[in-house]
Amino acid sequence: MRDKGLSRKEVLAELRKFWAQDLRYEDGRILCSMCTDPHRVAKTAHSLFSSSNLGDSGLFLGSLRLEKEVIQKLAALLNGKGSVGFIVSGGTEANLLALLAARNMANVSNPEVVLPESAHFSFTKICDLMGLKAVYASLDSAYRVVPSSVESCITKNTVAVVGTAGTAELGAVDPIDKLSEIALDRGVYLHVDAAFGGLIIPFLRDIGYTTADFDFRLEGVKSITVDPHKMGMTTIPAGGILFRNDTFLDYIKTATPYLTEERQYTFVGTRPGASAAATWTVFEHLGREGFRNTIRRCMRLTKFLSSKLEALGFKLVSQPTLNIVAFKGSDSKLLSEKLRQRGWFASYIPRFDCIRIVVMPHLRKLHLMAFLKDLSEIARANATNAAF
Ligand code: 0PR
């Protein structure tokens, strides 16, 4: 640290140099992210609550109320009448809290968790951290977990089954209704990772798409991850964990004897009230109507992109269920590198040897048209060496 500080003007000028090196969502080059430019009202709310710490919530009662209201709104969206939960650092922490509750409830000596092969990598971290053995169930031709495979993975050591409503790689939605039946039948905890899909699927139904149940309407579902910092258009960090009811909280609580609250339920101690405030503000400002409109637009663009890609001769890995398009060229890895050279950040997904584009709210049709133009130029330029 320098001995004598810079003036406000000087330091901010220095800071802007770093800022200039970051990509901007609004430039439309970020095609690989599940985060997006937060809504303007979220940024305002975030800065207003920048000093609030929900880790000592007795000091920040307004923030605590905002968190409770946000959780109630999410619970209503996910049909959870008595649901309780927290705004946490992200999907990783939310999934961690769910498996912590499940493991502590089951209290077996060699705990195992049944995961779809498509489960997010956060579960790898969680299993490592918690000493859980991951047992992987296979996928069907649409990349959804096969219920009979899940069933055959369950043993007396299984503490939880996980299903995903909107996989990170393809946006696939597992048959949660079937998993719920299995979980009830075998007396196993079912957690749904709807980090991405949880703020999409409820609105898809409203705008005329047919979607299967994935939420607390299904008896077997004990907890759901749903992240406002993904399709909730709020500021980072804002993950969400919801439990079916408050009995689950007993299994994740930690005594905090000298704080204004006697216990904490989250993994992170000091945690931003700004996350709850920003999320509350977006929800109140946009309402269901605003979410429906945003999702309608993202889905239209998803359709536009996927049909243009097919017309260019690329193969879709699967028909998009959510606003994620995954496609293959004959050398997808090389193609993604060529795209990067032209300033496009699309993910290369090794598991499916494909390129993934997440059609987030910051993307406009003109961005996708520019992307398609570059893509077809790359494909044409390389047609002679049959790389694409
Ligand atoms: N579960 C699912 C289904 C997810 O998609 C993700 C993240 C998580 C859990 C973990 O959430 P956190 O990252 O909030 O802890 N999915 C994105 C992904 O892996 C995260 C992401 C976001 C990646 C923005 C890149 C990026 O630019 O693709």
Q: Going residue by residue through the chain (388 aa), what tens digit of pLDDT does each one get? A: 999 999 999 999 999 999 999 999 999 999 999 999 999 999 999 999 999 999 999 999 999 999 999 999 999 999 999 999 999 999 999 999 999 999 999 999 999 999 999 999 999 999 999 999 999 999 999 999 999 999 999 999 999 999 999 999 999 999 999 999 999 999 999 999 999 999 999 999 999 999 999 999 999 999 999 999 999 999 999 999 999 999 999 999 999 999 999 999 999 999 999 999 999 999 999 999 999 999 999 999 999 999 999 999 999 999 999 999 999 998 999 999 999 999 999 999 999 999 999 999 999 999 999 999 999 999 888 765 444 5
**Which pLDDT score, from 0 to 100, does residue 382 have?**
78
Nearest CA to ligand 1 atom 9: 91
- Name the residue of 30, 227, 234 whose CB sits within 8 Å of the most ligand 1 atoms, as the mutation to test its pocket: 227
**Residue whose CB lies within 8 A of the most ligand 1 atoms, among 22, 88, 96, 122, for a mutation test:** 122
What residues does ligand 1 touch, defined as CB less than 6 Å away? 32-35, 90-92, 95, 120, 122, 164, 168, 193, 195-196, 227, 239
The closest residue, in CA terms, to atom 17 on ligand 1 is 34
Q: Residue 181 Cα, ligand 1 centroid: separation in angstroms?
A: 28
CA 10 to ligand 1 center in whole angstroms: 36
Can you give the chain as a three-state secondary structure string? CCCCCCCHHHHHHHHHHHHCCCCCHHHCCECCCCCCCCCHHHHHHHHHCCCCEHHHHHHCHHHHHHHHHHHHHHHHHCCCCCCEEEEECCHHHHHHHHHHHHHHHHCCCCCEEEEECCCCCHHHHHHHHHCCEEEEECECCCCCECHHHHHHHCCCCEEEEEEEECCCCCCCECCHHHHHHHHHHHCCEEEEECCCHHHCHHHHHHCCCCCCCCCCCCCCEEEEECCCCCCCCCCCCCEEEEECCHHHHHHCCEECCCCCCCEECCCCCCCEHHHHHHHHHHHHHHHHHHHHHHHHHHHHHHHHHHHHHHHCCCEECCCCCCCEEEEECCCHHHHHHHHHHCCCECEEEHHHCEEEEECCCCCCHHHHHHHHHHHHHHHHHHHHHCCC
